[in-house]
Amino acid sequence: MPSKSTDAKDLLKKLSETVGVSGSENEIREVIKKEIEKYADSIETDSMGNLIATKKGTKQGPKIMLSAHMDEIGFVVRYIDRDYINFTPMGGIDDKILLSMPVVVHSAGKKLYGSIMAKPPHLQEREEREKPVKMKEMFIDVGMKLNKTPDKDGKMELEKLGVKKGDIISFDSHFRELQGSFVSGKSFDNRAGCVTVIEAFKQLKDFAGTVYAVFTAQEEVGLKGARVSAFRTAPDVALIVDTTIAGDLPNIMPQECSVETEKGPAITLLDAQGRGLITPQKVREWLTETAKKEKIQHQIELGTDGGTTDATAVTLTREGIPTGLISIPTRGIHSPSEVLSIKDLEGAIELAVVAVKSAGQYFKGK
């Protein structure tokens, strides 16, 4: 039989190489559904595009939302300029990583491969070369000739191929095994969280309560799916799984980011200086005491001053839902070459399983 690490790694590869830019999660949702449906008592897709799988425990207990967002950052076609594509981001993407990046334009059921380009430095004035190129100055080249005039029907050549405004554009990158336990690929944020929820859901058998495995849409563009799904399922407690910044890199001081790879998943106490999640004391006790009791290697994280996760949206749903966050240390977040350790992924799966099983000791069903 394959090892647990092989299972997790293979599933991460499959999910990472599947497309699911925010607002266009159909393909990734179907892949996840096939992975999880035979382990669920029921499964549904809501009007927002969230996938919700339900499993009832062997005895009475709390309703538990175990969730990860399934969407990824990317782009959409904004405008076709003489058979070159002007684009806009979906989610937070740093302009500095974009030049020469290979991408895939998804149009009319076809894939058009291209690269992000800009005016060559050889043709730039000195003042231009000294400034970083902004995204609005870039375009996508899919191998067309510069076409200044449309045909008699008013269409450019790209439009004849089916390209239109609003078509999604994804990173063209592939899953790679690196040294030791490390792997790289696109959209580990948050396909790693999806792997954690899927594998934990599969393993859950003897537990109290009801588990909702939720794979949310549109997290990268405003935590939208989490708000809807948390309202719908109305859990007594929620546990979100996402990635977090790993600080074991050159030029990063421990006081800036103390989370490291291969030291286990992080239990996040707060993020965005408290403007996002502030983990309730009871949830902190639940996760930290359970991790210690089960001897699961883990870290404690106070997140960066920047972004937040679905946990913030869930916390603020209905009259307030006690919410925790398990974070998987990841390098290069929001890039086409994110890096994580399979050991940390396995630790997140293990922590999610024991947390769900122990939830009834800390939270009561309504």
Give CA–CA dist 320/316, Å, rounded. 5
What pLDDT was estimated at residue 366? 72
- Ranges of residues in the chain whose predicted pLDDT is under 70: 1-6, 153-154
Question: What are the tens digits of pLDDT across the range 94-135?
Answer: 999 999 999 999 998 999 999 999 988 787 778 878 888 899
Please identify every residue annotated as catalytic: 219
Give CA–CA dist 189/68, Å, rounded. 10
DSSP conformation class of 130: T
Give CA–CA dist 297/299, Å, rounded. 7
What pLDDT was estimated at residue 120? 82
**pTM for the structure as a whole:** 0.94
Highest CATH level, class, for 75-171? mainly beta
CA distances from 211 to 57, 64, 244 (A): 8, 5, 24
Which alpha helices (DSSP H) does the chain contain, by range?
4-16, 26-36, 126-129, 157-160, 188-203, 224-233, 281-293, 310-315, 342-358
What pLDDT was estimated at residue 1? 43
| Residues contacting 75, CB < 8 A, separation 6+ | 21, 87, 88, 89, 90, 93, 103, 168, 169, 170
- H helix count then E strand count, the chain: 9, 17
| Residues contacting 30, CB < 8 A, separation 6+ | none
Domain residue limits, the chain: 4-72+186-361, 75-171
The residue among 79, 47, 80, 53 whose CA lies nearest residue 65 is: 53
Give CA–CA dist 26/29, Å, rounded. 5
What pLDDT was estimated at residue 235? 97
How many other β-carbons are positioned within 10 Å of the β-carbon of residue 283? Answer: 25
- According to CATH, the topology of domain 4-72+186-361 is Aminopeptidase (3.40.630)
Question: What are the tens digits of pLDDT across the range 125-178?
Answer: 788 788 888 999 999 999 988 777 777 766 778 888 899 999 999 999 999 999
Three-class SS of 4-68:
HHHHHHHHHHHHHCCCCECCCCHHHHHHHHHHHHHHCCEEEECCCCCEEEEEECCEEEEEEEEEE
What pLDDT was estimated at residue 43? 98
How many other β-carbons are positioned within 10 Å of the β-carbon of residue 166? Answer: 11
What pLDDT was estimated at residue 154? 64
